[in-house]
């Protein structure tokens, strides 16, 4: 190894230890589904940088759009001027609003990170309704700023020792059939959630004081839990009854990840606010919210904003990302390759009683490890799978409150051979149980 590489590896000690670290790899370049380290090893990246590089690493069309816009202007500040990629994105992205209502026009507000988009959604809901409270769901993850932390309950490490957090946030159970206390069916899990919301309104907060439900269509950090299809429509109905807004956090589920452009489209529920980030710009920091224009424009000039929101280069990357999703048929690809991955994983996991469930939608796929009888979470099994897969040059991530779930997040244009390789490696890495 050259002295330069040695020196680079030593510099890893300088990075703040607050970053949870899955690997010590130092990457020299990344392309498509693959990472190459400074010492020349190749890894199949089925983390997508936590669900971001849906079009693969460094897609040539995204790279070209970034280079072209960077040469024409990097920071063209939103309060001061308009810029071409921003204007085009404001026209184009609202067309993807899930289950739009006839006669509504939809609009976009852009920020930088997922947490910032969650803040924007909460601020909009409070400002527009003049109501103080938010109802979020147990196991949800919405980010690391103070309001986003207050909505987050996927793990105490995300919010513990940060009290006091913003108040008037109430948590209801997310329908999680495998862990539902009243029975392991979707019906029982949904009923448990709906009863808990009724109880919340009867005991802790009047529904007319609630500004919004904030909910992930599929639980991300909380364990890749796919709720019953009736869940979002049921929330929509409760929201309509009480004048509450429905804000869906599509940060991890959006941009074709689940085999629909947004996962909300697996149901017929129309949200009021769609919160987006991660896959929006194939890796450049960009996020935003979509809402009916009449709702979004309740925020008066200056009531929200930010120096970097809607960065020109990030908007150019987002437009190229949308082109790639359309031209390469990535919505359908996510569905097709998701089926291939799910069925392959189900067959390699069949002989492993500690795999309680192989689940997912599109290319948002996971295995949950539990003791077979008690359903006690087995994070050690998930950790061992990650380590064994890493040795075989496959990168995976965990999630779930106890770290008992392994999530598999391939790029949406991953090939059949790559999927089959990942299934083979996971099969070999499952070990004995």
Ligand X SMILES: Cc1ncc(COP(=O)(O)O)c(C=O)c1O
Q: Which residues bind ligand X (CB under 6 A)?
A: 50, 113-115, 118, 141-143, 216, 220-221, 249, 251-252, 277
Rounded to 5 degrees, what are φ and ψ at 100? -60, 150
Nearest to 422 by CA among 25, 430, 30: 430
236: tokens are: 């929509």
Q: Whose Cβ is closer to ligand X: residue 235's or residue 430's?
A: 235
CB 428, min distance to ligand X, A: 29
CA–CA dist 86, 69 (Å, integer): 11
CA–CA dist 9, 22 (Å, integer): 16
DSSP alpha helix (H) spans, 41-113: 48-51, 60-72, 84-92
CB 51, min distance to ligand X, A: 7
Burial of 10 (0-12, 13-18, 19+ CB in 10 A): exposed
336 φψ region: left (φ > 0), alpha (ψ -120 to 50), beta (else): alpha
CB 112, min distance to ligand X, A: 8
Rounded to 5 degrees, what are φ and ψ at 2? -70, 160
Residue 242: which residues within 8 A CB-CB, separation 6 or more?
207, 208, 210
Q: Whose Cβ is closer to ligand X: residue 249's or residue 357's?
A: 249
Q: Report the alpha-carbon angle 55-57-63, nearest 5.
A: 85
Please state the length of the chain. 433
DSSP alpha helix (H) spans, 243-311: 293-296
CB 97, min distance to ligand X, A: 18
Q: Whose Cβ is closer to ligand X: residue 221's or residue 418's?
A: 221
CB 65, min distance to ligand X, A: 21
CB 130, min distance to ligand X, A: 25
Q: Whose Cβ is closer to ligand X: residue 252's or residue 354's?
A: 252
CB 257, min distance to ligand X, A: 11
DSSP code of residue 283 = T
DSSP alpha helix (H) spans, 350-378: none
Instruction: Name the closest residue to ligand X (Cβ).
Output: 114
| Sign of the torsion formed by the C-alpha atoms of 63, 69, 70 and 72 | positive
Q: Whose Cβ is closer to ligand X: residue 89's or residue 277's?
A: 277
Q: Whose Cβ is closer to ligand X: residue 249's or residue 368's?
A: 249
Q: Whose Cβ is closer to ligand X: residue 267's or residue 354's?
A: 267
The angle, 0 to 180 degrees and rounded to 10, between the axes of the packed helices 312-327 and 84-92 is 40
CB 271, min distance to ligand X, A: 14
CB 1, min distance to ligand X, A: 33
Q: Whose Cβ is closer to ligand X: residue 246's or residue 251's?
A: 251
Q: Whose Cβ is closer to ligand X: residue 142's or residue 335's?
A: 142
CA–CA dist 266, 259 (Å, integer): 9
């Amino acid at each position: 190894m050259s002295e330069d590489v040695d020196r680079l590896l030593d510099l890893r000690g300088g990075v703040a230890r607050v970053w949870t670290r899955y690997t010590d790899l130092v990457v020299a370049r990344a392309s498509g589904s693959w990472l190459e380290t400074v010492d020349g090893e190749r890894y199949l990246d089925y983390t997508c940088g936590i669900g971001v590089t849906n079009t693969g690493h460094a897609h040539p069309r995204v790279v070209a759009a970034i280079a072209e816009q960077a040469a024409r202007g990097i920071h063209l500040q939103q309060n001061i001027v308009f810029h071409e990629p921003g204007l085009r994105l404001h026209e184009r992205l609202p067309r993807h609003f899930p289950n739009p209502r006839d006669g509504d026009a939809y609009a976009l507000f852009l920020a930088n990170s997922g947490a910032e988009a969650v803040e924007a959604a909460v601020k909009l809901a409070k400002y527009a309704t003049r109501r103080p409270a938010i109802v979020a769901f147990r196991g949800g993850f919405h980010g690391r700023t103070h309001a986003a932390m207050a909505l987050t309950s996927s793990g105490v490490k995300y919010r513990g020792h940060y009290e006091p957090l913003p108040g008037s946030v109430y948590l209801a159970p997310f329908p999680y059939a495998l862990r539902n206390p009243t029975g392991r069916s979707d019906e029982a899990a949904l009923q448990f959630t709906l009863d808990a919301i009724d109880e919340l309104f009867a005991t802790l907060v009047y529904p007319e004081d609630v500004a919004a439900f904030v909910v992930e269509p599929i639980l991300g950090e909380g364990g890749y839990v796919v709720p019953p299809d009736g869940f979002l429509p049921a929330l929509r109905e409760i929201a309509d009854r009480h004048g509450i807004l429905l804000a869906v956090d599509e940060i991890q589920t959006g941009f074709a990840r689940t085999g629909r452009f947004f996962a909300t489209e697996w149901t017929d529920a129309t949200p009021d606010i769609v919160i987006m980030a991660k896959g929006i710009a194939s890796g450049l920091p960009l996020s935003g919210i979509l809402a009916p224009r009449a709702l979004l424009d309740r925020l008066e000039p200056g009531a929200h904003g930010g120096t970097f929101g809607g960065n020109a280069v990030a908007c150019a990357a987002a437009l190229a990302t949308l082109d790639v999703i359309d031209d390469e048929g990535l919505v359908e690809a996510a569905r097709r390759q998701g089926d291939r991955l799910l069925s392959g994983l189900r067959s390699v996991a069949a002989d492993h009683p500690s795999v309680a469930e192989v689940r997912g939608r599109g290319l948002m796929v996971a295995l949950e490890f539990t003791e077979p009888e008690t359903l006690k979470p087995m994070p050690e099994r998930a950790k061992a799978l990650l380590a064994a897969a890493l040795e075989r040059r496959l990168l995976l991530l965990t999630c779930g409150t106890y770290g008992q779930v392994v999530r598999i997040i391939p790029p949406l244009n991953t090939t059949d051979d790559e999927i089959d390789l990942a299934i083979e490696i996971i099969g070999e890495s499952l070990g004995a149980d």
